[in-house]
Amino acid sequence: MSFREALAASLALLLAGDADVLSAVLVSLRVALAATFFSSLAGIPIGFLVVSRSFRGRRAVEIALRTLTAVPTVVIGLIVYTLLSRRGPLGGLELLYTETAMILGSTLLVVPLMATLTMAVVSHADPRIEETALTLGASRTRAALTVLIESRRGLLAAVASGFGRLISELGVALMVGGNIARKTRTMTTAIALETGKGDFPLAFALGLVLLGVALGVNLVVYALSQEGR
Amino acid sequence: MCTAMLALHAAAEPTRLRLATTTSTEQSGLLAHVLPEFERRFGVAVDVIAVGSGKALKLGENGDVDVIFAHAPELEEAFVRAGFGVNRRAVMRNDFVLVGPAHDPAGIKQIRSTPAALRRIAERGVTFISRGDESGTHQKERQLWREAEVTPQGVWYVSAGLGMGQVLLMADEKNAYTLSDRGTFLSYRRKGDLIIVQENDPPLDNPYSLIVVNPARYPDVKYIEAMQLIAWLTSPEGQARIGGLRHEGQILFHPMAVPAVAEEKRR
């Protein structure tokens, strides 16, 4: 099959709303969105605290977080697999090969990235914001929140980076999701499988959707960052 | 001088033969066991591309390889019929086993035929994990479901797009049944609780064949070298070498190209 034929066949699949394609797209989006949400919830406060508060071992925590951003996805996959396996400590939950397991693994994967990106954003924020807020009688938490709100454009870009990493993630999805058809099969695991089968149209179709999603996310982020400028 | 250099160059750069093969021949160590001797003798270097049988045939269809080593008889026949390949030759065989949890939840260990055992799994709705990847094992599994006259679908039928080892792990985790080639199951066994529930049934036979990509279709195909590979692997010597590969004392592939040698080796 030539490149053109594969491309044409993939477009036909997309336009026909092929159920396998649709299912893979939805699983990918659900997992990536949920994991982006949870990793932001954990990563942004961690990043903020590391930059704006002084405590013992702060430097070590910072280095640890930066190191963890380089952990290969298959290592996170292996850790979560071992935890959730029938013989693992959390085996009783029967979460292995479910979307929940994929969200858990993906969240763990991206928390360090969210934290380090937040650190970069907050360290560039004007230090007077927090001081002013405190002077005006805000509580420390309220002042921190003010800093984060004032840094929202940078944080938004951080969240978008996290989402970008997650939507294109393969290792965790394959290891703890198991690539089960219509259940835990994502766009990336489907592309890996279809390429392995030598069936390129479906792989191409999913590749196109991935590109589309990436474009969409970047457009939204761009629009939001322009707002109020 | 110039000719001498050319001759030297030819000696240093052997012809490269591209072999697309099912993963089991590579992972079991068979190719490492038989290819060096072939390469030494014929001055040919074999580039091994280990993929599923389905993909191996697709690579041949596209003319990306010269020769194919597969274990998917139906696909192979269709491949030759469509004019993509020539000179299909049976080389060796081993077998598949149906494996499942030690407590055999579908109660199929006593059933005499594998299709009947599969029918029972479907009736009782016990989880069955399928490779779901168009591999030779997946083809065999489809054939067995057809023989069982069951269309496998429903929550109990899990189509995992994974390799054999990962599917065995999944079957173990989910207390499920699955079809495996004996070699992979043997090398995996110590890590899980799965047992063999069906074996030595004729439908579980697993023949491996070599096919040359049709040189009339793709003139670049290294036809002569590909035929040399087939000749060597189906010769009494090549067959004896295949039969000599053992894993914990068990023969992994029974040679079947030369009946007399096959019989002698099997004893």
* pLDDT tens per residue, range A102-116: 999 999 999 999 999
Q: Cβ of A38 under 8 Å from any chain B Cβ?
A: no
Instruction: Look at residue A20 and give its three-state secondary structure.
Output: helix
Query: Cα–Cα–Cα angle for B35, B38, B40, nearest 5°?
Result: 110
Q: What pLDDT was estimated at residue B87?
A: 97
**Residue of B179 and A199 predicted with greater confidence:** B179
- Contact status of A181 with chain B (Cβ, < 8 Å): yes
A86 chain-B contacts, CB cut-off 8 A: 172-173
Question: HSE-up of B201 (CA within 13 Å, CB side)?
Answer: 23
Binary contact (B55, A196; C-beta < 8 A): yes
pTM above 0.80?
A: no
- For residue A192, which residues of chain B lie inside 8 Å, CB to CB? 161
**Local confidence band at B1 (pLDDT 50, 70, 90 cut-offs):** very low
What chain B residue is nearest to A194 in terms of C-alpha separation? B133
Alpha helices, H only, A124-186:
127-135, 140-150, 152-167, 171-172
CB contact under 8 A, B62 and A1: yes
Predicted confidence (pLDDT) per residue in A120-131, tens digit: 999 988 888 888
Give the Cβ contact number of residue B165 at 10 Å: 16
**Residue A94's pLDDT is what?**
85
β-strands B15-21, B44-50 pairing: parallel
Please judge whether B160 and A96 are an interchain contact, meaning their C-beta atoms are less than 8 angstroms apart.
no
DSSP labels for B65-102?
Answer: -SEEEE--HHHHHHHHHTTSEEEEEEEEEEEEEEEE-T
Instruction: Give me the residues paired with residue B21 across strands.
Output: B50, B69
A62-85 pLDDT, tens digit each? 999 999 999 999 999 999 999 998
Instruction: Give dist(CA B124, CA A139) in Å, integer.
Output: 62
Calpha distance B208→A76 (Å, rounded) = 38
Distance from the Cα of B111 to chain A's closest Cα (Å) equals: 29
Contact B167, B138 (CB under 8 A): no
Single-letter residue type at B266: R
First to last CA, chain B: 56
- Residue B3 pLDDT exceeds 80: no
At residue A228, φ and ψ (nearest 5 deg) are: 70, 15
* Tokens standing for residue A105: 């693994």
Rounded to the nearest 5°, which phi and psi values hold at B211? -135, 135
Of all residues in chain A, the percent with pLDDT exceeding 70 is 98
- Residue scoring higher pLDDT (B148 or A220): B148
Residue of A178, A182, A197 with shortest CB distance to B133: A197
- What is the per-residue pLDDT for B11? 53
pLDDT of residue B260: 62
Among B21, B68, B159, B173, most A C-beta atoms within 10 A, so best to mutate, is: B173
ipTM of the complex: 0.73
Rounded to whole angstroms, the Cα distance separating A40 from A46 reads 10
Interface of B with A (CB under 8 A): 51-52, 54-55, 57-59, 62, 132-134, 158-162, 166, 170, 172-174
Q: In this complex, do B161 and A1 lie within 8 Å of one another by their Cβ atoms?
A: no
Instruction: List, for residues B57-104, the tens digit of each pLDDT value.
Output: 988 998 889 999 999 999 999 999 999 999 999 999 999 999 999 999
Q: How far apart are CA A40 and CA A129, in angstroms?
A: 22
Q: Which residue has the tokens 């069951």?
A: B150
Nearest alpha-carbon partner for A186 in A195, A196, A174: A174
